[in-house]
Structure 1
Amino acid sequence: MKSRKQNSVVKKSYSSLIEDIGELLKTGRKQFYISANTILVHTYWQIGKRIVEFEQGGKTKADYGSKLLDTLACDLKLKYGKGFSRSNVYLMRQLFVVYPKFQTLSGKFTWSHIVELLNVEDSLTRSFYEKQTLIEKWSVRELRRQIDSALFPYFPRPILFVG
């Protein structure tokens, strides 16, 4: 028969096992989310690149007035399901246009963060919000709030050079 002390030790070590497994799951899920997001963003970037290359057809600039995005969104949605609205396909295209080198993103931002950043037209302003998001670890909601409040013009300029 086990003594009370032995039962207590077994319960404590069992509790430790549960805690340890919980930490492993938490870490694994976080790594999975980061990996999945990086793959998603890279795939969207590649789609954007293909769209731009197709639009340009070997020229340096695409012809204006093209209905390509409308048609493409409709066909992709029919063939591959949701996730290919015209606005989403446009954002994929913009992702490549704004970030022509994927390494610039390299897993730093979630797709939702990128969508918010793509809405900032001025590259200097966008760069500011990119840096602040990384430094301050802003959630998407906080990033949107900061963009909406037009924080950039009021921030001291030296922050722009923090690397």
Structure 2
Amino acid sequence: MTKTSNDPGLQTSFTEVALLISGARQRAAQAVNTQLIELYWQVGQYICKKLESAEWGEGVVADLAAYLAKHQPGLRGFTRASLFRMRQFYKTYHQDELVAPLVRQLPWTHNLIILGQSKRPEEREFYLRMAIREQWSKRELERQFKTALFERTVLEPAKSTPSIATTHPAALDVFRDAYVVEFLGLPNKHGEADLHAGLLLRLKDFLAELGRDFCFVGSQYPLQVGHRDFTLDLLFFHRGLNCLVALELKVGRFEPEYLGKLEFYLEALDRDVRKPHENPAIGVLLCASSDDEVVEYALNRSLSPALIAEYQTQLPDKRLWQAKLQEFFNLDAPCAEPQATKNPPKRV
């Protein structure tokens, strides 16, 4: 009996072949990218050594670009400006044995963005690792620079209960103190329903802001305790932490009583929803604003793994954050190396 193309068995076979092709294409593309980055590295190294030895003057680089254009017809990406970028690329990373291998894992455009917009070696390493881990597109990488992610990570680490460090030691490298949701286009005066609906409408963008390992489970997730029904605003699952993540939305400032309700939801999730192989659920209160001292008091005695974060409806003032970071790095500079220089943010 001849099978038709609609046969479930054939469909499975076809899918397996398609996956083989897709995997091979991805590996081929990665191999091409690695070779291309290696070529740019070698060209940059060659030019760098010629210039440093004074064997070449800088004008020779323009002559080289003209020579390549004439003798390699159709060759693109080897203009005078591009050749000098290759030189800068090599000079920036060649002495850093830990960071140099990372650049070969990203496309050239990503490397140029990180090279051009980073102010410090720690910042370059941070964005290299984050771009690899999160698999950011060029557009998302540029957006994260605009959100001042590095500056915010250094200056304002995630606010969490003490139990996070013991139950989920990797969580502090996953969650942030603030999430930027400018893509929602919310007005200054908006309600929780507006925020909730906006996040669902732009869920793909919100998942990108949360992080690659977050998976959406449900909205207005039902929880039944006793004879009463409750609903959780948003429920996610984090693959790396292997746990449910409950997200409660508040359009006003943080109030201590919010944490008690979130803890109640976490208990319900752990008792009735969590699977045996999963870790205890984590809760996140996403508020419009918060008082640091009130947050500290509220979190200090809590036994549940929870965090308090803010959401921001507009891109932050990056220049202001850069100025704050400069002050931070300059603190006690004559006496000792800044702590952040010794221990750059680990968000990888």
User: TM-score with structure 2 length normalisation?
Assistant: 0.40
| Unaligned ranges ≥5, structure 1 | none
Match of residue 118 from structure 1: 115
Per mean C-alpha deviation after superposition, the further-off stretch among 149-158 and 77-86 is: 149-158
Find 2:137's aligned residue among 122, 139, 158: 139
> Cα RMSD (Å) of the superposition?
2.9
Change (3 A) 1:86 1:9: closer
Matches within 5 A, 1:1-163: 2=1, 7=3, 11-57=7-53, 66-80=58-72, 81-100=75-94, 104-106=100-102, 107-119=104-116, 120-156=118-154, 160-162=344-346
Kindly report structure 1 stretches of 4+ aligned residues shifted beyond 3 Å.
6-10, 156-159
Cα distance in 1 for partners of 2:17, 2:52 equals 52
Kindly indicate which of the two structures has a greater share of residues assigned to helix.
Answer: 1
Return the letter of the residue paired with 1:122. R
Given that residues 153 and 345 in structure 2 are in contact (C-alpha distance below 8 angstroms), is that contact kept between their aligned partners in structure 1? no
Q: Structure 1, residues 9-68: CA drift from partner, whole Å, max 9, x if none?
A: 9933322221111000000000001111001000110000000011112x7xx98x7223
How far 1:161 moved relative to its partner? 4.2
Q: Structure 1, residues 70-116: CA drift from partner, whole Å, max 9, x if none?
A: 22222222222222122221221111111115862353212121111
Cα distance in 1 for partners of 2:6, 2:152 equals 59
Per mean C-alpha deviation after superposition, the further-off stretch among 19-28 and 87-96 is: 87-96
Cα distance in 2 for partners of 1:71, 1:114 equals 25
Change (3 A) 1:152 1:30: same
Change (3 A) 1:56 1:19: same
Q: Specify which structure has the bigger relative contact order, considering alpha-carbon pairs within 8 angstroms and separated by 6 or more residues.
A: 1
Return the letter of the residue paired with 2:123. T
Equivalent position SS for 1:155: helix
| Unaligned ranges ≥5, structure 2 | 158-172, 174-343
How far 1:123 moved relative to its partner? 1.8
Q: How many residue pairs are counted as aligned between the two chains? A: 155
Cα distance in 1 for partners of 2:142, 2:61 equals 26
Change (3 A) 1:77 1:7: closer
Per mean C-alpha deviation after superposition, the further-off stretch among 83-92 and 126-135 is: 126-135
Q: Structure 1, residues 100-135: CA drift from partner, whole Å, max 9, x if none?
A: 158623532121211111102422222222232233
Per mean C-alpha deviation after superposition, the further-off stretch among 28-37 and 76-85 is: 76-85
Equivalent position SS for 2:16: helix
How far 1:149 moved relative to its partner? 3.5
User: TM-score with structure 1 length normalisation?
Assistant: 0.79
Return the letter of the residue paired with 2:68. L
Cα distance in 2 for partners of 1:42, 1:68 equals 22
Cα distance in 1 for partners of 2:95, 2:42 equals 11
Given that residues 44 and 89 in structure 2 are in contact (C-alpha distance below 8 angstroms), is that contact kept between their aligned partners in structure 1? yes
Identity, % of aligned positions: 25
Q: Which of structures 1 and 2 has the bigger CA Rg?
A: 2
